[in-house]
Amino acid sequence: MDESSIPSQASIFTGVRIGMPTEIERKFLIDPSKLPAPSSPVFMQQGYLSKDPWVRIRVTDTYAELTIKGPGNLSRAEFNYIIPKYEAEEMKPMLKGTLSKNRHSVVVGGKAWDVDEFLSPPSLAGFWLAEIELIREGEDFEMPVWALKEVTEDHRYSNAWLVEHGVPAPHVTD
């Protein structure tokens, strides 16, 4: 397994928790036409086993993970575990909603942004959303020119909500 294809804080060992137990993340609607030259995206498929708490299975070409997310928008408990890909595949029939997306990494002002291009289901195809993970709430970061509107506190832009309800309309405002 190529470690560069796994999230940077991940262990390559199955069942080991990766990342910090608290996620601090801000989300933005974007204008994809203003993005810099695209990186090689990572194709992801993910779905949800539970809503309370959110329990997600995510599969890429190189790894699979199980994630448990607590309540909250900007800051919340999050636990990630690398799991065997074959087990993730076996769990797919249990998922209550699934989506696929290409994740692009874009560095702005020295900080990494995850830019998601949703591919399926049809209600999400063509929708783009960007997020930046921070170390602390209130942390400064450079706002990219392609970021249109912050939607961090709008629960309708969580992947779990999007997969069940589709893109809120209208999703871009002044």
Q: Does residue 160 contact residue 50 with C-beta atoms inside 8 Å?
A: no
Number of domains in the chain: 1
Q: Does residue 123 contact residue 98 with C-beta atoms inside 8 Å?
A: no
Task: Return the pLDDT at 6.
Answer: 45
> Does 146 reside within a domain?
yes
> Does 171 reside within a domain?
no
CATH number, position 71: 2.40.320.10
> Does 95 reside within a domain?
yes
Q: How far apart are CA 77 and CA 71, in angstroms?
A: 7
The encoded tokens of residue 14 equal 């199955």
User: In the predicted model, is pLDDT for residue 43 greater than 70?
Assistant: yes
> Does 106 reside within a domain?
yes
- Identify the DSSP state of 143: P
> Does 147 reside within a domain?
yes
Q: Of the ranges 10-14, 42-46, 146-150, which one carries the lowest mean pLDDT score?
A: 10-14
The encoded tokens of residue 81 equal 């575990």
> Does 174 reside within a domain?
no
Name the residue range of residue 27's domain.
3-165
Q: Does residue 28 contact residue 130 with C-beta atoms inside 8 Å?
A: yes
**pLDDT top residue among 28 and 72:** 28
Q: How far apart are CA 142 and CA 87, in angstroms?
A: 39
> Does 49 reside within a domain?
yes
> Does 110 reside within a domain?
yes
